Amino acid sequence: MLFLSLLLLFSLSYAKLEKVIEEEVYKRFGDSVRVQRVRLGGKLDSEKVDKIELQMEYGRSRAVAYVYSGEQRYQAIIEALWKVKVYIAIEDIPKDSPINLDSFRVEERFVKTIPSDLRIEPQEFENFVASTKIAKGTMLRRSLLKEVPAVSPGDVVEAVYRSGSLEIVFKAVAVDGGKVGKIIRLKKDDKVLRGKIISKGVVEVLQ
């Protein structure tokens, strides 16, 4: 009976520690994570826990917590699912067609790991076209897209000049083309300026 009581005490203590680790995960990541299981490697010599240190990154499959008790450090493996917003095609999208939010329904799913090509924000859609036919029901990934120039040579663009609280917007002609983030030349009358493409058809003039 004594052995059973000690075993039960240890089981309760272990379950309590698992719960504490789980709470630390939710404290950091909120509802973007769903903890499935916590596995502690090794038996704690003491019920006293001094510190719990999480080694977790959003969307990564490997998650670890280090439990410090006195001079000892124990490792706990955390099995978790991550919440990701995905876009599902509600119609066939032909190759080279612009990507339009109206062609997708948005779903939230929990997955073990979030590949970088699933992380697409609606504001990015205007920068891409379909690199292949996207069939109805397909989950949108960057691998199905190809980026198109935000500015092409000869385009009349909106040039934005900022200096402190001053902001001046004017029309200019792009000498070069490129994607968002690229530095290009602009021509305003007979003057050549340098600017950074910040969105489709919009360039921030560099000082």
CATH of the domain at 181: 2.30.30.760
The parent domain of residue 18 ranges over 2-80
Q: What is the DSSP letter of 117?
A: G
Same domain, 143 and 163: no
To the nearest whole percent, how much of the chain has pLDDT over 90?
54
- CA dist 21 and 38 (Å) reads 8
CA 92 remoteness from chain centre:
26
Residue 70: its pLDDT value, please? 77
Same domain, 133 and 167: no
In the structure encoding, which two tokens stand for residue 142, read together?
């960057």
- CA dist 158 and 125 (Å) reads 20
Same domain, 94 and 142: yes
pLDDT tens track for 154-180: 999 999 999 888 999 999 999 999 888
Q: Are 144 and 133 in contact (CB under 8 A)?
A: no
- CA dist 28 and 105 (Å) reads 29
B/e letters for 164-191, b = 16+ CB within 10 Å, e = fewer, are: eeeeeeeebebebebebeeebebeeeee
Same domain, 90 and 76: no
- Provide the domain count of the chain: 3
Q: For strand 33-41 and strand 72-89, is the pairing parallel, antiparallel, or unpaired?
A: antiparallel
pLDDT tens track for 4-51: 333 333 444 667 778 888 888 999 999 999 999 988 876 666 567 778
φ, ψ for residue 143, nearest 5 deg: -65, -15
**Residue 1 binned pLDDT confidence (cut-offs 50, 70, 90):** very low
